[in-house]
Structure 1
Amino acid sequence: MFIVHSDIIVEVPSGTTPNYDQSNPLLKLMNLMERSQLAAEREFYLSEHLQYLFPYHSLTFYGPQGGDAGILEPSLQDNKTDFQKQNVKEFVSTDTVLIRGLVTIGNWTGPFLRVSYRGGPDSHLSTSTNNQLGEKIKLWIKVANIGPIIVPVPYNPRSDRYEVEFWGYPDSDLTTLLDTKGLEALQRGELIVQNALVQGNMHDFNREKLNDLYMINVAPSNSMHPILPLHIELAWADFYEQKWDSQNGANYHYEFNMILRGWDNFLGTGISPNPHGGVGFLEYRNLMSNYGYYSGRNELGRQLNSWNFNAFGTKNHNNNFEPFFAVDYMDLHLLKARCGIGLHRHRDNQEMFLMMEGQGFMVIGDWLKMPQRERCFEIRTLRSGHFAMLKGGNLHALINATDEDISLFMCGGYD
């Protein structure tokens, strides 16, 4: 059985190496992130908590190297140590971008969600209306189980996009607290207070509230929950709702769901006296587990497909489920300033990136279209003491955007 995909695999002649310094897709993705606009000035937002979804139509991969150069079907690329065949050459973005994070205003810190649509004449919606979209379009949106609602979305000349940003602010004094940019966004409908659609506040997860609790049971409706994914369903229309960009009525399904764990993102926490027969007290964070309360979550396991090698190096596995995380290597990496591990896939194995010192931008996405969501690059800040885990089939990358070295521990399996 071959993998069903719409991507392009470019054959690289044996004995040659791609020029990764030219038109690098990781730098293209970082540029998209840097150009993203927010409703108010940046100082209102907690930068380390900003999260981005950049959906894409298609990908272009480099083919294998050496004697395998002509094997372009991914399900047959079985050389585990040939990294060239993993690497992304190019991607084509869709019209939608989503951003979520935490915003602080007055005494409140809570979640926001920003959704935008490309304003150029070649967007799907613009083409269907003969480039007659005007100053506003419409957004049909459902967040988790809340909604749907339909809202007008104004054009933002700063970004050449139609953009709306929902805040979960609970009070009625927002106009007295906003800066000039935020007030203008509020007046033209780019900034909307919608605390039914975007819920919660940062204090839901204060440390003193979490001892001896399972995180999945704490404020599960919080739109910035550290463990639970946030599912968003949406569709776009012209202002008069005559033309729709909705995947023929199926709508678009997006999800913030990167597996990121650490001191602030954990399954459970507590205090253990005399740990394992020792002395004193130990405060613990349970990050991932196959035991006890967590035995059914299967986060450490993977579903095997026909093209996958299992943990024992064979494809003769009857598409079983592996309930464990197999480790074939452990590495320490030192990423110099402005160094980036490029966008690439792992066809088979899981992998973990643990930030030991410093911080970087972690990227995880789907190589194949998943049933519950569109293909997206999800970007989050990976801080020291936190790790990101990717599953087989995930795309991923990490870039050090600082002027200092960062140190990283990695483990998992190749390809």
Structure 2
Amino acid sequence: MAQIVKNDSTIDVTSTINYNVRNPVIKLMTIMQESSFMAEDMSAYTTDSLQYLFPFSHLELYGPAGSDHSILNPEIQDHKTDFQKQNIKDFLLTDAYLVRGWVSVAQWTGPFIKFSYRGDTDSVLSKASGNNLSSFIFLWASIQGKAMREPIQVPYNTDTNCYEIELWGYPGDDLFNQLGAKGKSSMTKGLLINRPDLIKGSFTDFAREGLDDRNMYEVSPENIMHPILPLNVELAWCDHTKTFWDSNNSTNYHYSFNMILRGWNNYMQVGVSGSPHGGVGFLHYRNLLSNYKPYTKFTELAREVEPWMFDANHEKGNKKEEGFLAVEYVDLHILKGECAIGIHRHRDNQEIFFLLNGKTIMITGDWYQFPGRERAFEIRTLLPGSFTLLKSGQLHALVNALDIDATLLMFGGYD
């Protein structure tokens, strides 16, 4: 079991709460919308592909519903009202955030990663340097195991009060000539650099043609925008003299884009079946989650049951692994315009959010500290026919991104 965090707090919920005031999901959406990019305008970026990681250092939670309202530790939460739900009251972000996605220029569409670090005097790096940061700092990173030989220079962006840089994976040496005025300016200032040695892959790697019956885990695994493999990033920051570091106490920061998102473009296997199950015509299929045949080694549907957790039979006390997703409820929801399901967590149950129509922003995150990655809010776009699988205790929220209704199918179990 991951280590239970000790630096968070819980709030008594015996009084009425006004969720319309200082709601954390609105706070997070505002931060996301204020993010900027270095090319001409947002038309250069495939907006629905953008994926954000906002690491946080502190959570303030409301206690679970019922008599356990003041208990933060899940090991002693046994009241079974409302799935042991805990809503998030507030959060504190760390100094850095990351974005990845697809970007297009000329005839090329490929991946990029943006790194951003706060320029305020109360940042970890600024305080370490005695508030003596210059017009640039340095970043060292390892992306999916591919490490920089030397730290790269990250300039201060006066528009955002952050040190920022975008790394693109453009395959040629003429990127500057392909960009417009803003992109050229960004390259001149060092806000945008081309690093195909680190930013691997192309949008065409995952074209539907030629993928029939292929195991997608084995297709272009080095592509940093792989549709189902997590992307792991290790990094550290230092000042312009390379004397003072923000490196997580010399262990470096470890981030992971790892939301389990599946759908028409995020699948384990795809193919065509003629006369399906003795019928007629052709059926086009996609395997999205599976414990069968070549996928038995993957554990996305599984969970480890700690002695204090309820298992699929509502019993507890024996530590074990359940290699399946139990379904004990199926709900259909309509999210009206401006509706958002707030950031919250459940103690035990796994859940699937399946979007039937509309367009939503999906938020997930780690409530507790995993040994291999920092806690962070991960944000992606959910389109019709796609879903996310939420693991036990995982933070999650959903925001209707349009003025029209969004229809959501939810199902899960265990609690």
The answer to whether the superposition gives a TM-score over 0.5 is yes
- CA deviations on 1:313-361 (whole Å, 9 max, x unpaired) are 12222x2000110112101100000100000012211110101001100
How far the C-alpha of 1:196 sits from its partner, in A, is 0.9
**Whole-angstrom CA distance in 1 between matches of 2:365 and 2:376:** 5
Please name the residue that 2:106 is paired with: 106
How many residues align? The count is 413
Please name the residue that 1:351 is paired with: 351
Question: Which AA in structure 1 matches 2:32?
Answer: M
**Whole-angstrom CA distance in 1 between matches of 2:334 and 2:281:** 35
SS of equivalent to 1:296: coil
Quickly say closer, same or farther: Cα 1:69–1:222, change in 2 above 3 A. closer
**Whole-angstrom CA distance in 1 between matches of 2:363 and 2:306:** 24
Quickly say closer, same or farther: Cα 1:71–1:169, change in 2 above 3 A. closer
Please name the residue that 2:123 is paired with: 123
Please name the residue that 1:250 is paired with: 251
How far the C-alpha of 1:225 sits from its partner, in A, is 0.4
Q: Residues 168-247 of structure 1: matches in 2 within 5 Å?
A: 168-247=169-248
SS of equivalent to 2:277: helix
Question: Which AA in structure 2 matches 1:20?
Answer: Y
1:32 matches 2:31? yes
**Whole-angstrom CA distance in 1 between matches of 2:71 and 2:377:** 26
Please name the residue that 2:6 is paired with: 6
Question: Which AA in structure 2 matches 1:402?
Answer: L
Quickly say closer, same or farther: Cα 1:185–1:364, change in 2 above 3 A. same
How far the C-alpha of 1:307 sits from its partner, in A, is 2.7
1:401 matches 2:401? yes
How far the C-alpha of 1:64 sits from its partner, in A, is 3.5
Q: Please say if residues 140 and 235 of structure 2, whose CA atoms lie closer than 8 Å, have aligned partners that are also in contact.
A: yes
Question: Which AA in structure 2 matches 1:61?
Answer: L
How far the C-alpha of 1:3 sits from its partner, in A, is 6.5
How far the C-alpha of 1:11 sits from its partner, in A, is 3.5
Question: Which AA in structure 2 matches 1:89?
Answer: K
**Whole-angstrom CA distance in 1 between matches of 2:134 and 2:207:** 45
Q: Please say if residues 83 and 346 of structure 2, whose CA atoms lie closer than 8 Å, have aligned partners that are also in contact.
A: no
Q: Please say if residues 61 and 85 of structure 1, whose CA atoms lie closer than 8 Å, have aligned partners that are also in contact.
A: no
How far the C-alpha of 1:400 sits from its partner, in A, is 0.5
Quickly say closer, same or farther: Cα 1:172–1:67, change in 2 above 3 A. closer
**Whole-angstrom CA distance in 1 between matches of 2:70 and 2:10:** 10
**Whole-angstrom CA distance in 1 between matches of 2:211 and 2:253:** 35
**Whole-angstrom CA distance in 1 between matches of 2:273 and 2:174:** 44
- CA deviations on 1:271-325 (whole Å, 9 max, x unpaired) are 11221122222111000111101111021110112331111112222x2000110
SS of equivalent to 1:23: coil
Q: Residues 137-176 of structure 1: matches in 2 within 5 Å?
A: 137-149=137-149, 150-176=151-177
**Whole-angstrom CA distance in 2 between matches of 1:163 and 1:299:** 34
Question: Which AA in structure 1 matches 2:307?
Answer: S
Q: Please say if residues 2 and 75 of structure 1, whose CA atoms lie closer than 8 Å, have aligned partners that are also in contact.
A: no
**Whole-angstrom CA distance in 1 between matches of 2:50 and 2:268:** 21
Question: Which AA in structure 2 matches 1:64?
Answer: P
Q: Please say if residues 112 and 167 of structure 1, whose CA atoms lie closer than 8 Å, have aligned partners that are also in contact.
A: yes
Question: Which AA in structure 1 matches 2:178?
Answer: L
SS of equivalent to 1:87: strand
**Whole-angstrom CA distance in 2 between matches of 1:348 and 1:275:** 37
How far the C-alpha of 1:81 sits from its partner, in A, is 2.3
How far the C-alpha of 1:401 sits from its partner, in A, is 2.2
How far the C-alpha of 1:66 sits from its partner, in A, is 4.6
**Whole-angstrom CA distance in 1 between matches of 2:5 and 2:243:** 32
Please name the residue that 1:271 is paired with: 272
SS of equivalent to 1:377: strand
Please name the residue that 1:296 is paired with: 297
**Whole-angstrom CA distance in 1 between matches of 2:37 and 2:191:** 10
Quickly say closer, same or farther: Cα 1:139–1:180, change in 2 above 3 A. same
Question: Which AA in structure 1 matches 2:134?
Answer: G
CA RMSD of aligned residues (A): 1.6
SS of equivalent to 1:154: strand
- CA deviations on 1:373-406 (whole Å, 9 max, x unpaired) are 1001000000001001111121000001211111
**Whole-angstrom CA distance in 1 between matches of 2:307 and 2:121:** 42
Q: Residues 44-83 of structure 1: matches in 2 within 5 Å?
A: 44-82=44-82
SS of equivalent to 1:343: strand
TM-score of the pair, normalised by structure 1: 0.96
TM-score of the pair, normalised by structure 2: 0.96
Quickly say closer, same or farther: Cα 1:278–1:84, change in 2 above 3 A. closer
- Identify unmatched segments of 5+ residues in structure 1: none
Query: % of aligned pairs identical?
Result: 50
Question: Which AA in structure 2 matches 1:229?
Answer: P
**Whole-angstrom CA distance in 2 between matches of 1:280 and 1:217:** 30
Quickly say closer, same or farther: Cα 1:2–1:36, change in 2 above 3 A. closer
How far the C-alpha of 1:94 sits from its partner, in A, is 0.3
How far the C-alpha of 1:147 sits from its partner, in A, is 1.5
**Whole-angstrom CA distance in 2 between matches of 1:56 and 1:151:** 24
Please name the residue that 2:89 is paired with: 89
Q: Please say if residues 334 and 405 of structure 1, whose CA atoms lie closer than 8 Å, have aligned partners that are also in contact.
A: yes
Question: Which AA in structure 1 matches 2:44?
Answer: F
Q: Please say if residues 358 and 383 of structure 1, whose CA atoms lie closer than 8 Å, have aligned partners that are also in contact.
A: yes
